[in-house]
Amino acid sequence: MGGLSVRDAVVRYDGEGGTTAVAGVDLDVADGEILALLGPSGCGKSSLLRAVAGLEPLTAGTIAFDGEDLAGVPVHRRGFGLLFQDGQLFAHRDVARNVAYGLEVARVPRAERAARVHELLDAVGLAGYGARSVSTLSGGERQRVALARALAPRPRLLLLDEPFSALDRALRERLAVDVRDVLRATGTTAVFVTHDHDEAFTVADRTGVMQAGRLLQVAPPEELWRAPASREVAQFLGYQAFVPLGTRAGGWLAVGPTGLRVLSDARSTPQQPGSDDSGRVWEARVVESAFRRGRAQVIVVVDLGSGDQRLVAQVEDAAAPAPGAAVKVTLDESSCAVVGG
């Protein structure tokens, strides 16, 4: 089978007590696929990526590419490209010679090198920057150069470790879209490590959610959102509360970031409260009004069945109710998901 194949991978660090950073992971990345590894800081994403790169030895398990076991294959023989948070450009080389670096190492002839550098700078939106000194570049431009440099030798797999985490949010969002476009246009197979789910979903075809060294679920974004495999996954994706389903099988209705809604007229009783949770109504108290991404929101204190919680609720009226107001809230079914116990 083509692409990356990780089986039962374990990465353990010695030292006091020892840390198992990767605790038995299976993962396949198909040829041309972009996969994101998503999870909180310390869950083992980088350790897994570094093991794939050959920078960290596996304690157990195997990593293969295109069917070849990579045990014993050193970093520079794997044919992989690497991009880290700090692209670590060569300060004494101009932009073009930074991008050309891997091509020089591979002894690509000069004319071919120049054409490839030109093509790559164009692809990352830096056409005409070749002669610039890297010291004149912004943080975002530096990472674009680092991406072009990593892609220039046509790596069979590109490994990206939090490549935008040093940049501000707006820039990160734009770069995520651009990186996705460049990876798609070049047909690059890639593994992209991030702790930001928006970023993962923007860049990747499939996302693997990691926690405490384990891969909890790997799926395309729509599927992760629609059917998180567990409360842990849902929580990490930003589902903000869990309403017990009350069925014999157990399980929960996970309330998404926009899954709670203030009833527009607090005096009305809309649907009859019934077994369907989307028709249920709870009394809540507003503690804060906010305006986010062009929409009015409130933070309410409400008991959905597991005690008082502070949750975000969407407001459809132009004006949000003021702090202190008593309101009624209901669930927006399209922003909720059923998860197992």
Residues making contact with ligand ADP (CB under 6 A): 13, 15, 19, 21, 39, 41-47
Residue 214: CB minimum distance to ligand ADP, A: 12
Residue 10: CB minimum distance to ligand ADP, A: 12
Q: What tokens appear for 303 in the block?
A: 């008991």
Residue 192: CB minimum distance to ligand ADP, A: 12
Nearer to ligand ADP, 20 or 335 (CB): 20
Nearer to ligand ADP, 57 or 341 (CB): 57
- Nearest-angstrom CA–CA distance, 251 and 341: 4
Residue 8: CB minimum distance to ligand ADP, A: 17
DSSP tally for the chain: helices H, then strands E: 9, 18
CA distances from 307 to 9, 311, 340 (A): 40, 12, 20
Residue 86: CB minimum distance to ligand ADP, A: 15
CA 134, 138, 140, 141 dihedral sign is negative
Residue 85: CB minimum distance to ligand ADP, A: 11
Nearer to ligand ADP, 46 or 143 (CB): 46
Give yes or no for a contact between 125 and 142, defined as CB atoms under 8 angstroms apart.
Answer: no
Q: Quick one: angle between helices 139-151 and 169-185, nearest 10?
A: 20
Nearer to ligand ADP, 129 or 236 (CB): 236
Q: Residue 178: how many CB atoms within 10 A of its CB?
A: 18
Q: Are strands 206-211 and 60-65 parallel, antiparallel or unpaired?
A: unpaired
Measure the CA angle with vertex 3, ends 2 and 7; round to 5°. 105
Measure the CA angle with vertex 330, ends 324 and 270; round to 5°. 105
Q: What tokens appear for 66 in the block?
A: 């295109």
Residue 124: CB minimum distance to ligand ADP, A: 25
State which amino acid sits at residue 323. P
**N residues, the chain:** 341
